């Protein structure tokens, strides 16, 4: 038998042209890697957990105002106020502006065709506001005591009833054709009344100083 010699294939070194081609490709691969943009990273935002957030609730409604017991008794009728005379009357204003109005009515002395007027008026509201008018002039305005409302009201009302009202100046009949810029004709008292009349005077007096001044003016004229 013939012995065949095995030839060992050793790797051959590349030629100069092949090595240059390989180097050129490697440079191109490096350049391509540098120029290629970085891969985008997927960003997944965290979803808010609605259950973990605190819910903002609207503020609670203000507490309803507790009505005064005395006002309710007076408004609905169980409380009975004794009036000083028949010229006084009581009126009740319906909701939402509940109020009690006490008034003293008066008529023109010598002119029945004129509508009646109010000499004194007292307004008492469910907020315990107390107002008093005498001849349409505001003379008292205050808030009654919450704890002693009945006592405070009765005392305040008695003060209005006992107020002395100026009766005015000279009679209109005696001075019909006179023109006074500082006074006006009060047909409910049938007298001239000064525009600066104080309306309320001290007990024991009858006429305020401005109206008394009208007497001297008309006498001198």
Residues pairing with 118 in the sheet:
105
Q: What are the pLDDT digits (tens) for 75-93? A: 998 898 999 899 999 999 9
45 lies in a domain?
A: no
Whether 158 and 81 share a structural domain: yes
0.85 exceeded by the pTM? no
Whether 179 and 95 share a structural domain: no
Whether 156 and 136 share a structural domain: yes
Q: Could you tell me if 175 and 218 are in contact, meaning their C-beta atoms sit under 8 angstroms apart?
A: yes
Give the Cα separation of 143 and 152 in Å (integer): 10
Whether 181 and 143 share a structural domain: no
pLDDT of residue 219: 73
Whether 107 and 152 share a structural domain: yes
Structure tokens, 129: 């506001």
pLDDT at 210 over 80: yes
Domain that holds residue 178: 173-220
Whether 198 and 156 share a structural domain: no
Q: What are the pLDDT digits (tens) for 105-124? A: 988 766 667 788 899 999 99
pLDDT at 97 over 60: yes
208 lies in a domain?
A: yes
Pick 153 or 14 by higher pLDDT: 153
pLDDT of residue 140: 97
Lowest mean pLDDT of 19-28, 120-129, 152-161, name the range.
19-28
Band (197; pLDDT cuts 50, 70, 90):
very high
41 lies in a domain?
A: no
Whether 77 and 153 share a structural domain: yes
Domains contained in the chain, number: 2
Q: Which long-range contacts (CB under 8 A, 24 or more apart) does 57-62 make?
A: none
Whether 85 and 129 share a structural domain: yes
pLDDT of residue 1: 47
pLDDT of residue 139: 96
pLDDT of residue 113: 74
Q: 110 burial class (0-12, 13-18, 19+ CB within 10 angstroms)?
A: exposed
37 lies in a domain?
A: no
Say which residues have a Cβ less than 8 Å from residue 219's Cβ, sequence separation at least 6: none
Band (65; pLDDT cuts 50, 70, 90):
low
- What is the rounded average pLDDT of the residues 114-135? 94
97 lies in a domain?
A: yes
The residue out of 140, 162, 184 marking a domain boundary is 162
126 lies in a domain?
A: yes
Give the Cα separation of 102 and 92 in Å (integer): 9
Give the Cα separation of 108 and 162 in Å (integer): 22
Q: What are the pLDDT digits (tens) for 7-58? A: 455 555 555 565 566 666 666 666 555 555 555 555 454 555 555 567 888 8
Whether 193 and 110 share a structural domain: no
Report percent pLDDT > 70 for the chain.
69
95 lies in a domain?
A: yes
Whether 99 and 135 share a structural domain: yes
Whether 207 and 152 share a structural domain: no
Give the Cα separation of 62 and 107 in Å (integer): 47
43 lies in a domain?
A: no
């Amino acid at each position: 038998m013939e012995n065949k010699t095995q030839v060992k294939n050793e790797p051959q070194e590349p030629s100069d042209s092949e090595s240059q081609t390989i180097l050129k490709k490697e440079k191109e691969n490096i350049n391509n890697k540098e120029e290629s943009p970085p891969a985008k990273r997927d960003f997944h935002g965290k979803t808010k957990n609605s259950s973990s957030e605190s819910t903002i609730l609207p503020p609670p409604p203000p507490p309803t105002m507790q009505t005064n017991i005395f006002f309710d008794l007076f408004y609905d009728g169980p409380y009975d106020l004794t009036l000083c005379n028949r010229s006084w009357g009581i009126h009740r204003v319906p909701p939402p502006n509940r109020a009690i109005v006490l008034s003293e009515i008066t008529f023109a002395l010598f002119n029945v065709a004129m509508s009646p007027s109010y000499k004194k008026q007292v307004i008492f509201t469910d907020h315990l506001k107390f107002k008093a008018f005498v001849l349409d002039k505001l003379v008292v305005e205050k808030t009654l005591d919450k704890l002693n409302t009945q006592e405070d009201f009765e005392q305040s009302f008695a003060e209005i009833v006992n107020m002395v009202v100026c009766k005015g100046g000279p009679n209109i009949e005696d001075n019909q054709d006179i023109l006074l810029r500082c006074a006006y004709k009060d047909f409910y008292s049938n007298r001239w009344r000064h525009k600066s009349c104080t309306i309320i005077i001290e007990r024991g007096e009858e006429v305020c100083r401005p109206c008394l001044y009208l007497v001297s003016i008309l006498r001198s004229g």
